[in-house]
Amino acid sequence: MQLIATPPLKSSPRLLWLGVILTLAALLAALAGLYSVVYRDWVDEQRDSLVQELLWLEQSLRLHLEGHQQTVESMTPDLQGGVAGQQRFVAAASLLRRESREIAEVQWVDGRGRVLLDGSGMANGGQQLEGGSYDALWRAERLKRPVFGAPYRAADGKYRFDLAVPVLVHGRYQGGVRIVYDMAALLHHQVPWWIASQYHISVVDLDGKALASKFEQTPPQNTLFHQISFDPPGYGLSLRAVSYRAGVGLALPVLSSFIGLLTLALLYSLWRIRGHVRERAQAEKALQHEMILRQAIENSMKSGLLALDLRGQIVHVNRAFCELTGLGSAELVGQSPPYSFWPQEEGALLQAAMQAVLGGELPEHGFELPFCHRDGERFEVRFYATPLRGNDGRHTGWVASLYDITELKKKRLALNYSHQRFLSVLNGLDVGLCVTDGASSQLLYANPAFAEMWAQFEPAGLYCP
């Protein structure tokens, strides 16, 4: 309870709340940016993985087809070895079809496009090839080297393409070996499961039409995809891979939802804290008004006010007390008996009075105590004390009020001296003199001369009925 200057009331901290709102908005923007960065990184990672897998698959298919080309080129010399050579061709063709199930047919074709022998060792009665089935042989005849033909649709509705290896005798075209590939079977047998489980693999033409796919199902929509040239066979064909995974899964959405819930909880908490702070601000404002009013009342009092703890230490003084002693509140607060405003020669009296106060011995009319001003001038005070109790009724100290009675005491002493002097004059008269009450005729005063003259009367009785 120290006498301090009350600071002016402050307005509500709107700038602080604005800073909190801006910080929260920045946090939300940062979280949104983080989500965007994570999502873009995930998309880039998925795209890179898709491209790598597709490049690996294209290289695997190309090496696979080039391996077939080399195998067929090693078979062409057997076609000039008569019956034994034909038997070796049939054995090699059968082995090639068993190892590569995507090969629909292996045929030996003469220079006029008639099938002489197939991989099963049977002659096809001079079947004449034409259209798409003869395109690869036609190109091989003109280029004098192995070529792949353009894709075509077979009688069963499936798309195929051919590999033709020419048979040259002294540089002249004598026929060739034709290998027929089933596109769907090629993808079915040559696309590994770890790729097929993640991507829908298909072969498309220049118009984007799917000619064959790993699985007979509609490719996913609105997902990542990539396509690269499928050469061999070429002719505008492309390998396309479409990702089955349309999103990032549950981890990121669940985490984002959790962050969103935490953000909402934070907003709700801030809203509640704002209300609580406003209530506290209103309470503090009311308390400040009360303190200002209390200080105004204390400072307006003419009598000094002093608050002590249970050990007699000063905890609060008002302005009037400071003016009486000539000491500031900072000098007075914290002092313990003997106080600096006690006259040294009256220490025993003042200490006894203080012990009486601390012991709860509080006379109804208070104490008359001598105090000392800073400049050494002594003055008398009337000192009243009462217990100081908190809201819970617990005794926490003492509160005392006092006022200067120096002038009043001087006047009282002067009046008493004047009265004694007047009585001395009356008592010295030789003439009897008495004073009576007019209403009750009771004798109030009689000088010695009157007492000697009227000794028979009772001094306090009735003398004139």
pLDDT in tens, 346-392: 888 989 998 988 888 888 888 888 999 888 888 888 899 899 887 78
Lowest mean pLDDT among 34-38, 61-65, 217-221: 217-221
- The boundaries of every CATH 3.30.450.20 domain in the chain are 41-248, 301-411
Mean pLDDT over each residue of the chain, to the nearest integer = 82
Mean pLDDT of 183-207: 89
pLDDT at 444: 76
Residue % of the chain over a pLDDT of 90: 8
- Residue 458 · residue 451 · CB < 8 Å: no
- Give one DSSP letter per residue of 361-429, joined into a string: ---TT-EEEEEE-TTS-EEEEEEEEEEEE-TT--EEEEEEEEEE-HHHHHHHHHHHHHHHHHHHHHHT-
Fold type of domain 41-248: Beta-Lactamase (3.30.450)
Mean pLDDT of 395-399: 89
Rounded Cα distance between 375 and 352, Å, is 25
**Banded pLDDT at 246 (limits 50, 70, 90):** low
**Banded pLDDT at 82 (limits 50, 70, 90):** low
Strand ranges across the sheet with 395-404: 314-317, 304-309, 395-404, 378-389, 367-372
**Banded pLDDT at 457 (limits 50, 70, 90):** low
**Banded pLDDT at 63 (limits 50, 70, 90):** very high
pLDDT at 1: 39
Q: How many residues does the chain have?
A: 465
From the CB of residue 224, how many other CB atoms can be counted at a distance below 10 Å? Answer: 18
pLDDT at 203: 92
Residue % of the chain over a pLDDT of 70: 89
pLDDT at 295: 80
pLDDT in tens, 125-143: 567 787 888 888 898 888 8
- What architecture is domain 301-411? 2-Layer Sandwich (3.30)
pLDDT at 126: 62
Mean pLDDT of 208-223: 82
pLDDT at 238: 92
Rounded Cα distance between 41 and 443, Å, is 120
Element at 236 (helix H, strand E): none
pLDDT at 197: 86
Mean pLDDT of 137-151: 89
Q: Is the pLDDT of residue 459 over 80?
A: no
Mean pLDDT of 297-313: 85
Q: Is the pLDDT of residue 241 over 80?
A: yes
**Banded pLDDT at 172 (limits 50, 70, 90):** confident
Lowest mean pLDDT among 4-13, 179-188, 428-437: 4-13
Rounded Cα distance between 169 and 175, Å, is 10
Element at 61 (helix H, strand E): helix 14-75
Rounded Cα distance between 202 and 183, Å, is 9
**Banded pLDDT at 34 (limits 50, 70, 90):** confident
pLDDT at 151: 92
Q: Is the pLDDT of residue 405 over 70?
A: yes
**Banded pLDDT at 465 (limits 50, 70, 90):** very low
Tell me the angle at which helices 251-300 and 14-75 cross, rounded to the nearest 10 degrees. Answer: 170
Q: Is the pLDDT of residue 6 over 50?
A: no
Lowest mean pLDDT among 85-99, 113-127, 338-352: 113-127
**Banded pLDDT at 258 (limits 50, 70, 90):** confident
